[in-house]
């Protein structure tokens, strides 16, 4: 039972960490090299990594998706999708896909004359599963060495874990004040019942022994 409890706790925190890591905004300093539009199939389980801003998107087997190709300062490529999130999850309320696509086209630059931007996005990049992070914001910066402090993530995680801690403290106090005494009372009742049964058994044995001696 103890192993099951700790296994459940471990799985819970791993799942929660994965959701937060996927959903919270991330920042990449990159050089945009190209934008394009491509039709994507949405027929397998990986459709959960594509946005569904419209009701009809849940019934479509494929649709056109905009992409932004970029290169990091270390030369490694990164590809972003550009989709509206609408009112869905994560709650970025992104409705300006066309504007962001225009900004990305305007920010294109070459290796010899780079123009660096910060792409704010959420999600993961996985080449094997064809999963792309979704770009939500583009901002021009002076160079690839600009330091980006994720203030939103810091504040959000601080408040989130403060709430978790407060709830845990209140639950522990409630358990100690209400649940533990109740369980102890039930346990004492079981022990008392067991003692009474054992006493009756002893009395019955003594009665039988008295007949044997006769």
- List of long-range contacts for 51-55, beta carbons under 8 Å, 24+ apart: 51/83, 51/84, 51/85, 51/86, 51/88, 51/134, 52/86, 52/88, 53/83, 53/84, 53/85, 53/86, 53/87, 53/88, 54/86
The C-alpha atoms of residue 56 and residue 62 are separated, in whole angstroms, by 11
More confident residue, 145 or 211: 145
Q: What is the overall mean pLDDT for the chain?
A: 83
CA angle 181, 184, 188 (to 5 degrees): 140
Confidence of residue 173 (pLDDT cuts 50, 70, 90): confident
Query: Highest-confidence range of 68-72, 84-88, 127-131, 145-149, by mean pLDDT?
Result: 68-72
107 vs 190: which has the higher pLDDT: 107
pTM over 0.85: no
Strand partners, 193: none
Tens-place pLDDT, residues 11-64: 999 999 999 999 999 999 999 999 999 887 776 667 777 776 554 455 566 778
Higher pLDDT, 150 or 213: 150
Q: Is the pLDDT of residue 94 over 80?
A: yes
């Amino acid at each position: 039972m103890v192993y099951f409890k700790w296994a459940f706790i471990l799985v819970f925190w791993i799942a929660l960490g994965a959701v937060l890591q996927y959903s919270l905004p991330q920042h990449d300093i990159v050089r945009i090299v190209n934008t394009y539009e491509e039709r994507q199939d949405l027929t397998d389980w990986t459709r959960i990594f594509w946005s569904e801003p419209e009701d009809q998107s849940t019934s479509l087997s494929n649709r056109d998706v905009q992409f932004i190709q970029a290169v990091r300062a270390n030369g490694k490529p990164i590809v972003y999708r550009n989709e509206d999130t609408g009112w869905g999850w994560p709650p970025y309320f992104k409705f300006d896909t066309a504007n962001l696509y225009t900004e990305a086209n305007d920010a294109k630059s070459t290796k010899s004359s780079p123009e660096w931007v910060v792409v704010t996005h959420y999600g993961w990049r996985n080449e094997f599963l064809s999963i792309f992070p979704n770009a939500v914001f583009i901002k021009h910066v002076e160079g690839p060495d600009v330091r980006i402090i994720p203030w939103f993530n810091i504040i959000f995680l601080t408040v989130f874990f403060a709430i978790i801690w407060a709830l845990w403290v209140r639950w522990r106090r409630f358990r100690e004040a209400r649940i533990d005494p109740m369980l102890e009372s039930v346990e004492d009742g079981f022990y008392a019942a067991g003692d009474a049964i054992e006493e009756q058994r002893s009395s019955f044995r003594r009665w039988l022994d008295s007949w044997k001696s006769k």
